[in-house]
């Protein structure tokens, strides 16, 4: 039996053995495939109906809403029937309601780490990837469930994880 094809989209520093680890940042210590999702897409590298699992943790919120929908539709395209999409995202509803968390922390959770990876002291990184660590839209478990169902995903399940949520869906 052939091995399952699993893709870790926007892997960052979370390199996963057994996955094709994809990111737009070629300076990461480990990355299998460099893809800039602003100008490229997964289906240019993987055939339709060929992937068992797309994982995209803390990634979709780094894109404006209409582009995020395009990316989710592209994930759907490359997944095999029965294949799964697994994502983690900041939970905007939880973050906004969490008034016990200092507002500076909640701003960071909503708007992203900005220069988180290589820091302000690396102006070259900031020039090359000015937007990679900024959040451009936000979701709740409910809004993302509706986004995925509108695309055709089924069996959507989500659960809260501190100020994030995890969501899993299948291609029928
Ligand atoms: C917040 S990090 C998440 C990293 C990892 N998935 C994790 O959970 O630890 C977001 C990652 O998405 C990548 N990224 C953001 N926008 C991208 C884009 N347009 N194309 C390719 N990668 C992008 C960044 O380089 C970064 O590694």
User: What CATH number has the domain bearing residue 29?
Assistant: 3.40.50.150
With a CB cutoff of 8 Å and minimum separation 6, the contacts of 19 are: 6, 7, 8, 11, 32, 55
Which range of residues forms the domain containing residue 53?
6-89+139-170
Nearest CA to ligand 1 atom 8: 57
| 61-107 confidence digits (pLDDT tens) | 999 999 999 999 999 999 999 999 999 999 999 999 999 999 989 99
Query: Is residue 21 a part of any domain in this protein?
Result: yes
DSSP 8-state class, residue 43? G
Give residue ranges with CB within 6 A of ligand 1: 10-14, 23-25, 36-38, 57-59, 62, 132
User: How far apart are the CA of 134 and the centre of ligand 1, in A?
Assistant: 10
In a domain, 68, yes or no: yes
pLDDT of residue 38: 93
The per-residue pLDDT for 138 is 98
pLDDT tens per residue across span 128-157: 676 677 899 999 999 999 999 999 999 999
- 126 assigned to some structural domain: no
* Whole-number Å distance between alpha carbons of 38 and 46: 17
Expressed in angstroms and rounded, the spacing between residue 81 Cα and the centre of ligand 1 is 26
Q: Is the pLDDT of residue 114 over 70?
A: no
- Tally of domains within the chain: 1
In a domain, residue 107? The reply is no
- Whole-number Å distance between alpha carbons of 172 and 160: 24
- Judged against a pLDDT cut of 80, whether residue 123 lies above it is answered with no
**Closest ligand 1 atom to Cα of 112:** 1
With a CB cutoff of 8 Å and minimum separation 6, the contacts of 11 are: 19, 21, 22, 23, 28, 31
Report the pLDDT value the prediction gives residue 27, as an integer from 0 to 100: 83
- Euclidean distance between CA atoms 48 and 37, whole angstroms: 17
């Amino acid at each position: 039996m052939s091995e399952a094809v699993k893709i870790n989209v926007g892997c960052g520093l979370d390199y996963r053995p057994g996955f094709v680890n994809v990111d737009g940042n070629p300076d990461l210590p480990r990355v299998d495939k460099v893809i800039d999702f602003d100008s490229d897409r997964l289906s240019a590298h993987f055939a339709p109906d060929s992937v068992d699992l797309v994982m995209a943790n803390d990634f979709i919120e780094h894109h404006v809403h209409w582009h995020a929908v395009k990316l989710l539709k592209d994930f759907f395209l490359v997944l095999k029937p029965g294949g799964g999409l697994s994502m983690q995202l900041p939970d905007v509803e939880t973050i906004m309601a969490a008034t016990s968390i200092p507002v500076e922390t909640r701003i960071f959770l909503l708007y992203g780490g900005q220069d988180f990876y290589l820091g302000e002291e690396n102006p070259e990184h900031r020039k090359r990837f000015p937007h990679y660590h900024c959040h451009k839209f936000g979701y709740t478990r409910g809004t993302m469930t509706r986004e995925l169902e509108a695309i055709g995903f089924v069996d959507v399940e989500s659960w809260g994880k501190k100020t994030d949520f995890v969501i899993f869906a299948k291609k029928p």
